[in-house]
């Protein structure tokens, strides 16, 4: 959770809560929001939202749910609710939709609150979609609390250290949830900020008038970096899911898997091992005597290597190697007699340039070793 905003000294900020009309300025909304940002806390913000619900005649159930929620509220929206309650009815039409959206978000989150007067009953488990929606709301709510803290620091011209990339990683946010968070910022938050910066919408211009042009530009850059962080985390999570995904035909008969495989059975004193030993192997060594090329294929998961036609499956492109051999007699001896680690180091130690791997095995290759 974001740290509570440090309050300014009373010598620079008035202790008396100002109301609409207190400041004789066209930017009085910005001045009021700034005052609440310095003087009030998250607890105050929740009370203001609850008071707003009471003034709008929300049900007792909704009021009780929001009062007992542990979810952080959007402080900027809470300050606007307070300003409206203090007599600024003329801005209700400008911010009504944003207030309603925040209230809907808070009420959509399911809280574990026990009512002692109600008999405990067994309820059906929520669906996967409901769980994902609730978790997404919690994620966005927590990120927004950090955004509030960032915005307050931008206003005070202070640096902030929050990294959405690190937050997504530490919370193990899935690719699907990361995509939803990215869409929230790219489809809802960022367009509004760009429109405010363009000065084409008078309502948004007034709403963000508490920020200078430089501060608004910095705020926009922060949101854009959030979107980039989400894109990167989504790609990483997809790659991890692909690596951990169980390969198809893993139980297929090894003889059937290699039935169409073409390879060089022998060359001079070298003979290929049985191709079925490739199936499930952790590493594989191939050698092409016609062009003196050696291949080291490393598996990328716990299921082992596989074969489909003449193509090798489940190998790791980053740790597999293909190089030309200058002294094949010396290297072949090491490859045939040494353990897996020594074989790998011997191939890695070759000073020739690495070649691109295709994963295909052809009739010119000898299957030297399978580990």
Residues 266 and 188 in one domain: no
Domain that holds residue 131: 28-244
CB 328 within 8 A of CB 289: yes
pLDDT(149) > 80: yes
- Determine, yes or no, domain membership for 32: yes
pLDDT(363) > 70: yes
Cβ neighbour number for residue 170 with a 10 Å cutoff: 9
* Tens of pLDDT, residues 310-361: 888 888 888 888 989 888 888 888 888 888 888 888 888 888 888 888 889 9
pLDDT band at residue 104, thresholds of 50, 70 and 90? confident
pLDDT band at residue 230, thresholds of 50, 70 and 90? very high
Residues 343 and 281 in one domain: yes
Q: Which tokens hold the place of 146? A: 């950090």
Residues 161 and 270 in one domain: no
Final residue of a domain: which of 244, 275, 310? Answer: 244
CA distance 301 to 316: 8
Beta-carbon-side half-sphere exposure of residue 318 (alpha carbons within 13 Å): 2
Give the closest residue to 314 by CA, choosing from 206, 242, 230. 242
Final residue of a domain: which of 184, 217, 244? Answer: 244
Give the helix/strand (H/E) hosting 311.
Answer: strand 311-313
Burial of residue 11 (number of CB atoms within 10 Å: 0-12, 13-18, 19+) = exposed
Strand order in 366-370's β-sheet? 321-324, 293-298, 283-288, 366-370
Residues 195 and 271 in one domain: no
**How many domains, in total, are found in the chain?**
2
Question: Alpha helix (H) ranges present in the chain?
Answer: 28-39, 42-55, 60-68, 75-85, 92-108, 128-155, 164-170, 175-183, 190-198, 202-207, 213-244, 254-257, 328-337, 340-348
CB 75 within 8 A of CB 42: yes
Final residue of a domain: which of 186, 211, 244? Answer: 244
Residues 308 and 193 in one domain: no
- Determine, yes or no, domain membership for 149: yes
Residues 53 and 145 in one domain: yes
* Tens of pLDDT, residues 187-228: 888 888 888 888 888 887 787 888 888 988 899 999 999 999
- Determine, yes or no, domain membership for 21: no
Residues 54 and 79 in one domain: yes
Q: Which positions ≥6 away from 367 have C-beta within 8 Å?
A: 263, 272, 273, 275, 277, 278, 284, 285, 286, 361
In the chain, pLDDT over 90 holds for what percent of residues? 8
Residues 209 and 328 in one domain: no
The overall pTM is greater than 0.75: no
Instruction: At 246, give phi and psi (nearest 5°).
Output: -70, 125
- Determine, yes or no, domain membership for 16: no
Terminal Cα-to-Cα distance of the chain (whole angstroms): 48
Give the closest residue to 160 by CA, choosing from 145, 146, 150, 170. 150
Residues 228 and 309 in one domain: no
Residues 195 and 344 in one domain: no
- Determine, yes or no, domain membership for 81: yes
- Determine, yes or no, domain membership for 3: no
- Determine, yes or no, domain membership for 267: yes
Residues 78 and 58 in one domain: yes
- Determine, yes or no, domain membership for 353: yes
Residues 232 and 312 in one domain: no
């Amino acid at each position: 959770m974001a740290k509570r905003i440090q309050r300014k000294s009373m010598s620079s900020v008035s202790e008396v809560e100002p109301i609409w009309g207190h400041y004789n300025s066209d930017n009085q909304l910005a001045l009021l929001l700034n005052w609440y940002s310095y003087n009030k806390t998250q607890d105050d913000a929740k009370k203001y939202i609850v008071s707003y619900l009471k003034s709008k005649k929300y049900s007792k159930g909704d009021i009780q749910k929001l009062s007992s929620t542990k979810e952080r509220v959007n402080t900027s929206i809470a300050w606007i609710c307070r300003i409206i309650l203090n007599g600024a009815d003329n801005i209700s039409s400008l911010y009504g939709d944003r207030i309603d959206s925040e209230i809907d978000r808070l009420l959509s989150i399911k809280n574990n609150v026990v009512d002692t007067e109600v008999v405990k009953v067994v309820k059906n488990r929520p669906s996967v979609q409901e769980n994902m929606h609730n978790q997404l709301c919690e994620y966005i709510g927590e990120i927004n609390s950090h955004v509030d803290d960032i915005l307050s620091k931008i206003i005070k011209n202070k640096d902030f250290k929050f990294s959405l990339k690190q937050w997504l990683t530490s919370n193990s946010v899935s690719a699907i949830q990361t995509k939803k968070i990215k869409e929230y910022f790219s489809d809802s938050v960022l367009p509004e900020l760009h429109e405010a910066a363009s000065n084409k919408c008078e309502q948004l211009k007034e709403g963000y008038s508490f920020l200078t042009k430089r501060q608004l530009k910095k705020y926009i850059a922060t949101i854009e970096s959030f979107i980039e962080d989400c894109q990167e985390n989504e790609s990483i999570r997809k790659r991890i899911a692909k690596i951990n995904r169980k390969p198809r035909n893993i139980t297929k008969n090894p003889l059937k898997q290699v039935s169409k495989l073409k390879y060089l059975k022998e060359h001079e004193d070298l003979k290929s091992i049985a191709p079925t030993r490739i199936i499930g192997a952790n590493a594989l060594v191939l050698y092409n005597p016609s062009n003196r090329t050696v291949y080291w294929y490393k598996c990328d998961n716990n299921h082992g290597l596989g074969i489909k036609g003449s193509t090798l499956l489940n190998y790791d492109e980053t740790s597999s190697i293909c190089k030309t051999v200058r002294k094949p007699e010396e290297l072949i001896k090491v490859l045939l007699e040494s353990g897996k680690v020594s074989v790998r180091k011997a191939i890695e130690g070759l000073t020739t340039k690495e070649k691109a791997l295709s994963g295909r095995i052809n009739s010119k290759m000898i299957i030297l070793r399978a580990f």
